[in-house]
Amino acid sequence: MINAPRRTNDPKHWRDRAAQMRALALTMTDSETTILMNDLAADYDKLADRAAIKANGKKPPTNAKPRQACRDLPRPPEAMS
């Protein structure tokens, strides 16, 4: 059996996912959903950065801070009404 290339190690895969998530976020009417989707897109960008580092033969850093949960963020004024 031939091993398929692992897309998880491809920075372009993660950049494409981030772009798709941002495009989808633009169609959302709920501000909390938009925030969450943009946060996910940023996380995809971080995965792309790590994949790029790994592709260059280096070990990705492990000192990343945990992301704050979206539900803990202050709500936009339009979401409070």
In a domain, 2, yes or no: no
Burial 57-67, CB ≥16 within 10 A → b, else e: eeeeeeeeeee
pLDDT attached to residue 7: 76
Could you list the residue range(s) of the whole structural domain that residue 44 is in? Answer: 9-57
Token readout for 7 is 């897309």
In a domain, 45, yes or no: yes
In a domain, 20, yes or no: yes
Query: Whole-model pTM above 0.85?
Result: no
DSSP string for the chain: -PPPP-GGG-HHHHHHHHHHHHHHHTT---HHHHHHHHHHHHHHHHHHHHHHHHHTT-PPP--PPPPPPGGGSPPPHHHH-
Give the model's confidence band at 1: pLDDT under 50 very low, under 70 low, under 90 confident, else very high.
very low
In a domain, 32, yes or no: yes
In a domain, 71, yes or no: no
Say how far apart CA 9 and CA 50 lie, in whole Å.
8
Structural domains in the chain (count): 1
In a domain, 17, yes or no: yes
pLDDT 10s digits, 19-75 = 999 999 999 999 999 999 999 999 999 999 999 988 887 766 665 555 555 555 555
